[in-house]
Structure 1
Amino acid sequence: MADSKYLVGVFDDSDEILHAVEDVRHQGVKIHEVYTPFAIHGMDKALGYSYPRMGVSAFLFGITGTCCALLLTFWTMGVDWPINVGGKNFFPFPTNVPIVFELTVLLASFGMAFTFFFMEGMGPTAKPIIFDVRSTDDKFIMAIDLANNKLSESDISKILKGSGALEVNVKEV
């Protein structure tokens, strides 16, 4: 037995679906997601998404990498295994710059990747919902969760067809 019922609109052109998203949202319908075979500029703004905050996590993981690298190089060269070479100090910062840079980039990239997978629920056991197999080939799909909308299925179907949808199907997931 299905848990959720979605109304799926199939579009043929990227400009049509971009204008349809604006139309449908203007009518008060909440869109679950739009699936396209390629990125469409302005779609995130049309869907009402806020500015992404991935840069905050990148900065925090980068700072963590920098601090860990500085602590690692200071500990190994100055405390744990100090070697006096020509009377130089035990923590020459310029020689540690490549190590600090590499660990900063490594922790920032891994941290961003894991944060993205965690926040989007894309773990190894996640099962994707495929509303229409043509969405990866040549069609543009708009999925609307009927449980999250006040309008009836027939009203939303009329709005989608009026916005230029080629097909409107019901998908139970």
Structure 2
Amino acid sequence: MVVTDAARARAIAEERLADLPHRWAHVCGVAATAERLVVGLGAMDADAVVAAAWLHDVGYAPSVRSTGFHPVDGAVFVRDEGFPAVVVSLVAYHTGAVFEARERGLLDALAEFTAPPSLLLDVLTCADLTTGPQGSPVRAEDRVTEILSRYPDGDPVHRAIERAAPSLLAAAARVSASAG
């Protein structure tokens, strides 16, 4: 029996995020959304996006956290777990990570990873932006507002999302338009 990267990613994410029930609920919702959005992609690309959806927030797990910047921490972990480079890059660059890396002075750490194909990154971004903190579907615009409301104006996450919002919303719109 062949175990897909997505199946292995789910098991790893569940193990690492078990003590973070809200994060786990969000990840489950993002993965379910990604599974719907990958229809039409080739099998390998679809599996990579769904695997990355399961693993996109694994960098929040205390057992994985190193720099405190979850995309890079997660990507290092995912790479060390032997996932394909595309899954690693999707985790590293998901949902505007480059904007937050700039805010945190971590562009060099992010640059350690190759940027993923833009279509696959758009699909993961759309899945993340259209899933609320509890795993339920939300409008991308409402998700951006929700994230901004959780962080004070001076916080690097707030500043990054504020700057990234137009490109994030555009990515979600492109995927939503092509999904019909």
Report which of the two has the higher share of strand: 1
Point out the structure with max Rg over C-alpha.
1
Pairwise TM-score range, normalised by the shorter structure: under 0.3
Report which of the two has the higher share of helix: 2
Higher relative contact order (CA 8 A, sep 6+): 1
- How does the TM-score come out when normalised to structure 2? 0.20
